[in-house]
Structure 1
Amino acid sequence: MTIDVTADRVIPLPLDRVAAYAMDWRHDADWTQGIRTAELSREATGGGFGAGAEVTRTAYFLGRRIDYVLRVAAYEPPLLLDMVSVSGPMPMHVTYTFEPHTDGTLARIRVQGGEGGFYRLAAPLLARQVRGNLVKDLRDLEARLLEQR
């Protein structure tokens, strides 16, 4: 993989609350940079959201519209949501993890991907941009949750 970027933030709220909101695809556009729409395009084997489910996202990144589908590879609430792209302009692996922390919840997002073509050539720029977006995502996640108190 060309890009491997991680950002984390301690959010001063309980683990279950942070993870439940962040792992719910219906909130993606509320706190994730660039995402305009997200929809459950395939349910998990047992129905609903879980391993095997697919979420179709439309996002804007570096001024370009990107449509992609993420398949849930692992879903272990409230600790882990792991997704891999099955459709889109580049291979992508997105992992959300949540851990108890003395000050609330340690939320972490890791994005891996970007092999091939434009993305390979622009890897250093993309990595900086992705990292900046992830930092903003976690800041916005905290702000959104604190507003709901």
Structure 2
Amino acid sequence: MTIDVSVARVIPLPPEQVAAYAMDWHHDADWTQGIRTAELTREADGGGFGIGAEVTRTAFFLGRRIDYVLRVAAHDFPRLLDMVSVAGPMPMHVTYSFDPDPTGTLARIRVRGGPGGFYRPATPLLARQVRSSLRKDLRDLERRLTQRTEHPEPTD
């Protein structure tokens, strides 16, 4: 049994602004449920963050620590960031997309994968938990971005 969960939310800001924050791995722990740390552990072939780059994340999910590495498979700013796991407890494919909407940006997150080991018997529960976490991620992304817009950081 595999997991395929998608969530979407309209965020009242332009796609470039939403994607600039959400596609920057430095912010992963700020708006993504359970992620405690994120680190760029391999740069893209041309340097920096792009296709081929790898981000190592440490998260807590269902009370367990999970360390995993996501490799960027597609990077089309500001529209798409697609990543696949290359190390971790289960195969995973995570897609973030940001499309123009009449009221801002239609932000979507899709997670696909097959639970392995400890998680296999809990696949239905895991899918519900992933959906709940992703909804919170988009809610928190919107809150962070709209609060930054309402209260921008001072410039010198």
Partner of 2:22: 22
Partner of 2:154: none
Partner of 1:111: 111
Question: 2:89–2:116: 8 Å Cα contact kept in structure 1?
Answer: no
Counterparts of 1:114 and 1:30 in 2: how far apart (Å)? 26
In the TM superposition, what are the counterparts of 1:89-128 in structure 2 within 5 Å?
89-128=89-128
Greater C-alpha radius of gyration: 2
Superposed CA deviations along residues 35-94 of structure 1, whole A, max 9, x for unmatched, are 000000000000000000000000000000000000000000000000000000000000
Q: Return the TM-score normalized by structure 1.
A: 0.98
Counterparts of 1:104 and 1:90 in 2: how far apart (Å)? 34
Partner of 1:35: 35
In the TM superposition, what are the counterparts of 1:30-109 in structure 2 within 5 Å?
30-109=30-109
User: Sequence identity, in percent?
Assistant: 78
Instruction: Structure 2: give runs of 5+ residues left out of the alignment.
Output: 150-156
Aligned CA-pair RMSD: 0.8
Q: Which runs of 4+ in 1 moved over 3 A?
A: none
Q: Provide the secondary structure at the position in 2 that maps to 1:148.
A: helix
Question: 1:52–1:73: 8 Å Cα contact kept in structure 2?
Answer: yes
Counterparts of 1:143 and 1:115 in 2: how far apart (Å)? 30
**Which AA in structure 2 matches 1:39?**
E
Q: Return the TM-score normalized by structure 2.
A: 0.93
Instruction: Structure 1: give runs of 5+ residues left out of the alignment.
Output: none
- Cα displacement (A) at 1:144: 0.2
- Cα displacement (A) at 1:121: 1.3
Counterparts of 1:62 and 1:114 in 2: how far apart (Å)? 16
Question: 1:2–1:120: 8 Å Cα contact kept in structure 2?
Answer: no
Counterparts of 2:5 and 2:124 in 1: how far apart (Å)? 11
Aligned length: 149
Partner of 1:2: 2
